[in-house]
Amino acid sequence: MIRRTASVLVAGGTGFIGSAVARRLRNDGVDVSIAARATGVDLIDPRAVAGLGAFDAIVHAACRASVPESWSSPATFYRDHFLVTLNLLELARNTGARLVLASTYVYGTAPPVPVSEEAPARPHSPYTASRWHSELLCRGYHRDHGVATDVLRIFNAYGPGQRREFVVPAVVAGALGGRIELAAREPRRDFVHVDDVAHAVALALARSERSYAVF
């Protein structure tokens, strides 16, 4: 695991995945700082991000998470995901920090199952496309500036604290209320508990290779 003396910035650390990551790292004895709009940090502002200081590692878990909303406001998703990722990569480049990016399902609607990291990316919504662009930024910063980056393609995370509009909380609430209603029954998904996501992030932070890797 990551050493106890390490300092880690969790960008988006008040969100669903970010808060689970921050909680896990603190339980491991890691010095954790959180940057999010809820803590008064605008991650879209390069000066605000540059002023956060130096860290051994940065966890990028800051994102807009609604696929339906990305169809109605695509420019917001592309802009925010690109700028936040760019600013965090600049912070990593200038301070020598390792970056772990919490990405998402970028393989399209019908990849071979089980899907592997080598499967081609075929984003199928403004949400997944904007997250894919974040991955490309990370790849470029590793190639051109040596920023060590691990990309974790997370899908579909669930667990305590997730908003009601997501499928698992909706099913649980429906079961408790006596009626389960789904928008569609056709999609088939894999699920991962948010605590397992946090464990995966901790493992990535403990890696010593100065590489660009996708998991």
Query: Per the structure block, which two tokens stand in for 47?
Result: 């000066």
pLDDT of residue 185: 79
Distances (CA, A) of 176 to 169, 170, 171, 173, 180: 11, 10, 9, 5, 9
Find out whether 13 and 57 touch, Cβ atoms under 8 Å.
no
pLDDT of residue 199: 98
Task: Indicate the range of 52-66, 87-101, 152-166 predicted with least confidence.
Answer: 152-166
> Does the pLDDT of residue 2 top 80, yes or no?
no
User: Which residues share a beta bridge with 193?
Assistant: 158
- Alpha-carbon 135 to chain mean position: 11
Percent of the chain with pLDDT over 70: 99
pLDDT of residue 189: 83
Mean pLDDT of 205-211: 95
- For 140-166, how does the pLDDT look when each residue is reduced to its tens digit (9 = 90+)? 999 999 999 999 999 899 999 998 888
pTM value is 0.94
Query: How many other C-beta atoms can be found within 10 angstroms of the C-beta atom of residue 53?
Result: 10
- Residue 109 gets the label, from left (phi > 0), alpha (psi -120 to 50) or beta, of alpha
> Does the pLDDT of residue 122 top 70, yes or no?
yes
Mean pLDDT of 23-43: 97
Find out whether 177 and 213 touch, Cβ atoms under 8 Å.
no
Query: Per the structure block, which two tokens stand in for 8?
Result: 């880690």
Mean pLDDT of 93-106: 97
> Does the pLDDT of residue 4 top 80, yes or no?
no
Alpha-carbon torsion (52, 161, 98, 64), positive or negative: negative
pLDDT of residue 1: 66
